[in-house]
Structure 1
Amino acid sequence: MASYEDLGFGKFKIYVELGYDERGKRNRRTKTITATSQRDLNKKIRDFEIKCFNEKDEPIDKITFSSFVEKWIKNHVEPNLTLTSKETYAYLLNECGVLDHFGNMKLKDIKKFHIVEYLANEQANHKPSIPNKYLLLKSIFARALEWDVIHLNPTAGIKEPKREKKKVDYYNEEELNHLFKVLDDCYPKHRIMIKLAAIGGLRRGEILGIREESLDFENNTIYIDKQLRYDKKKKKFYLAPVKNKKPRTVYFPKEFMEELKKYHVEFKARRMQVGNLWRSIHDDNDNMINLLLVREDGYPTHLNTMRNEWDKIIKRYELKHISFHQLRHSCASLMVKKGVNFKVIQERLGHANIGITLDLYSHLEEDQHKESTNVFEHLF
């Protein structure tokens, strides 16, 4: 029900009564508007009343999945999670059909069977990101239980769907040697970026997050503590902690660090030449961030640009096609073949735990397992 108060000079305050909430508190919305006639006033009252009823909070026992998700995003995702996690959740909800499937169902009516059936159908239809959809639903219903919106968590006891084991493709030692030879003819920045991935095992964001202060030419190391990210909504670059929030120091061959030092000297000369037109990004305190692998004018290099340039190099030199990320696998694979301790490989790659490293690369030791039987031959 709507009413209004005449404030004079063509201004009116509209009141819309929405009843009482579960605590017995009166629920009333107000809005001050300007109207030129009674007809205009009636229209604005009607429009505001419809808007209020469309946005009216649902009682907890009638709240739908989509309504709860809005509150889950507002009260949990937005204040607590990284931008990457927010974008992933938004993709799963809106692009991958989770909201389309569960959106209109009342939250309390969603049972374990509904989730098991949904995941099974997704699996049968070869839909993507099934394990991630499961983790998304698990997070949503865990908060619903914690906030007393539901009394039982329908995801409890449901096993996480198995992740499809992706084939780890990479360059072997001979292919890496060939790659490094053709890189001599490439643009210096692209050559450095590719070697940082193939020798250091760095991720794209970590490579682009390297600053001048990250370099230690005396000890031939680079400190990896940040990654470059891009906020699509704000359309701006920013530095975020590395994956797993575990900074690490990565050692490089002396020859590569000398090459990097030469690039750094030329980089500083170029920045001085550009002067005030240098387009560096700044931190929250408005301090310039001294990113190393940037465009000619100092503006950050986009992650997609790095991938595109790598694809061009593959095509130009007719290299075996692997993704830029698989240069990181090439680094790890070579270390496995050379007998480097898995703990050292884990720390170099920045994996959260050694289990991830073993799961990805232990199959490469198959030849070594076969050779290990040779030690028993003298017994027969």
Structure 2
Amino acid sequence: MARIYKRGKKWAYVAYAGKDPITGKDKQKTKSGFLTKKDAQLAASLFEREFHKGEYIQPSKMLFSEVYNDWLRHYSQDAKESSLRARKIALKHILNEFGQLPIQRITKKAYQDTIDQLSTKFSYNYVSSINTSANMVFEYASQFKLIKDIPTKDIKIPKPKVTVSDLEKDQFIHEKFLEKEELVEFLTHTDNEGLEGDLLVFTMLAYTGMRIGELIALKWQDIDFENHTLRIYKTYYNPTNNKVKYKLLTPKTESSIRTITIDPLLIDLLLKHKEEQNLIKTDNPFYMDNNFIFATNEGYPKTIKHVSIRMNRILKKTSIEKHVTPHSFRHTHTSLLIEANVHIKEIQERLGHSDINTTMDIYAHMTKNFKKEASSKFSSLMKELSYKINPTNSDDKDDE
């Protein structure tokens, strides 16, 4: 039971606060400055209720940066290197704002103001990533009773105002992938004017929907030539683009681990590529043979930058004016699967999607096109009947 007493002209309380884990002696919580005895009693009761429920948080001067460093040490034990790097990049903005502030003094209002400010500089998705990363640190602090309230909880991330360009979303989605005719043009130029390995790389991307990192990480043992299947379970990581300093990482999500069926065309191209690669290995005694399919003449896996440069070289020879990236072939594959009436769930599994927002965007775009095409075909089919019903609206007016 707390003791209430007068301290000068004001009131105070002293209450039991458990035992010191080091000395084993009883600890006390003392607080003064209350104008009335009743105020001190209410505050003491509130403290005792929190203490007995395990909700009381000891005052701490621990800085946000100190908690962050402790969290980072634990997080890095299990996190993939790519995820760790992404969290560090996102959290630098929060560290700049709150790093030297005691974590207990970071209020929800101050944090919301920071998120609002960041939203004026960066995209909605990036600010969401910053908030998710910061939330991990504050959750960690809460777990170890360093803070009582988590300022990231129920934070509102401002969504960008709708602009004219947003209203042209169909065009934006359209720019994400190549139409079938555009893909044919690109691969035809690749076949005729591409450099060594280009045709296999870009046909593989377009015919499988693989991520570029998954493609580069492929090894020959991942191909089942007899059953025409491909096993995807790793990704290439190389932020510096140094051909030697690469890493092979497991995918970010379990859904990314998958086995897919591949086209006979790819099997033929792979077999031809294997023969050519074996000749290179024979001619180069210093070849670093780690069994990579898409390897340089030295045996190291090709970099993502290398693939991008090769792709842009071919694009310049085509009439395609879209801003295409290696990832565009993944969206292209999605659109072709939709056009082939493959079920959306099968598409999700083939692409290894945990989040199918992009798939659904392309699906909506393609469906809209199909609806227009269906309407056009129906009108053409019913043209004769339409003329009989209302000849004045016929397209044959010009024959009059």
**Does the 8 Å CA contact 2:61/2:102 hold for their aligned counterparts?**
yes
CA–CA separation in structure 1 for the residues paired with 2:64 and 2:123: 21
Aligned partner of 2:151 in structure 1 is: 154
Question: C-alpha deviations, 1:329-377, integer Å up to 9, x for none?
Answer: 11111221232211121112110155663245333211334567869x9
Check 1:220–1:161 CA distance in 2 against 1; reply closer, same or farther (3 A cut).
farther
1:267-310 Cα deviation digits (max 9, x unpaired): 123223323x1124xxxxxxxx3111010010121122212221
Q: Secondary structure at the match of 1:236?
A: coil
Please, which of 197, 205, 212 is the counterpart of residue 204 of structure 1? Answer: 212
Aligned match of 1:111: 107
Q: 1:176 aligns with which of 177, 183, 186?
A: 183
Amino acid at match of 1:300: P
Map 1:65-104 onto structure 2 (within 5 A). 65-75=64-74, 77-94=75-92, 97-104=93-100
> What residue in structure 2 maps to residue 215 of structure 1?
223
Q: Could you say which residue in structure 2 is the equivalent of 1:296? A: 297
| 231 and 124 in structure 1: CA distance in 2 versus 1, 3 angstrom threshold | closer
Segment drifting more, 148-157 vs 307-316:
307-316
* Most deviating of 159-168 and 84-93: 159-168
1:272 to 282, 285, 293: 282
CA RMSD of aligned residues (A): 3.0
Preserved CA contact (<8 Å) 1:144 1:150? yes
2:254 corresponding residue in structure 1: 245
SS in 2 for 1:336: helix
**CA 1:279–1:60 in structure 2 vs 1: closer, same or farther (change >3 Å)?**
farther
Residue 131 of structure 1 contacts residue 161 of structure 1 at CA under 8 Å; is this kept in 2?
Answer: no
Distance in 1 (alpha carbons) for counterparts of 2:144 and 2:103: 13
User: TM-score, normalization: structure 1?
Assistant: 0.74
CA deviations on 1:66-92 (whole Å, 9 max, x unpaired) are 1211111112x2102110011111212
**Cross-structure match for 1:345:** 347
- Unaligned 5+ segments in structure 2 are 1-19, 24-57, 386-400
CA distance in 1, matches of 2:97, 2:106: 11
CA distance 1:211–1:299, shift in 2 (3 Å) = same
Q: Which amino acid aligns with 2:340?
A: K
> What is the SS of the residue equivalent to 2:260?
strand
- Please state whether the residue corresponding to 1:223 is helix, strand or coil: strand
Whole-Å Cα distance in 1 between the matches of residues 356 and 90 of structure 2?
A: 28
C-alpha contact (below 8 Å) 2:116/2:157 kept by paired residues? no
Whether the 8 Å contact between 1:188 and 1:263 is mirrored in structure 2 is no
Q: Distance in 1 between matches of 2:115 and 2:130?
A: 8
Alpha-carbon distance in 2 for matches of 1:231, 1:323: 17
Partner of 1:314: 315
Change (3 A) 1:159 1:233: same
1:255 matched to which residue of 2? 265
Q: Determine what percentage of the aligned residue pairs are the same residue.
A: 23
Could you tell me which residue of structure 2 aligns to residue 13 of structure 1? Answer: none
User: Structure 1, unaligned stretches of length 5 or more?
Assistant: 1-21, 26-58, 281-288
CA distance in 2 between partners of 1:183 and 1:231 (Å): 27
Give deviations 1:94-151, integer Å, cap 9, x for gaps. Answer: 3xx3211111221001111112111112223446711111111111111110121111
Letter in 1 for 2:291: N
The SS at the match of 1:61 is coil
The 3 A distance-change label for structure 1 pair 316 and 359 is: closer
The one-character-per-residue Cα deviations of 1:206-242 (angstroms, maximum 9, x if unpaired) are 1011111111222222211111112759972222113
Asked if the contact 1:342–1:354 (Cα under 8 Å) also holds between the matched residues in 2, the reply is: no
Aligned residues: 312
Query: Given residue 68 of structure 1, which amino acid in structure 2 is its aligned partner?
Result: V
Tell me the distance in 2 between the aligned counterparts of 1:102 and 1:119.
12
Q: Per-residue CA shift, 1:184-215, capped at 9, x if unaligned?
A: 12123122111111111111111011111111
Residues 194, 163 of structure 1: alpha-carbon distance in 2 compared, 3 angstrom cutoff? farther
TM-score by length of 2: 0.70
Q: Is 2:139 aligned against 1:142?
A: yes
Q: For 1:233 and 1:371, how far apart are their aligned partners in 2?
A: 45
Distance change (3 Å), C-alpha of 1:250 and 1:163: farther
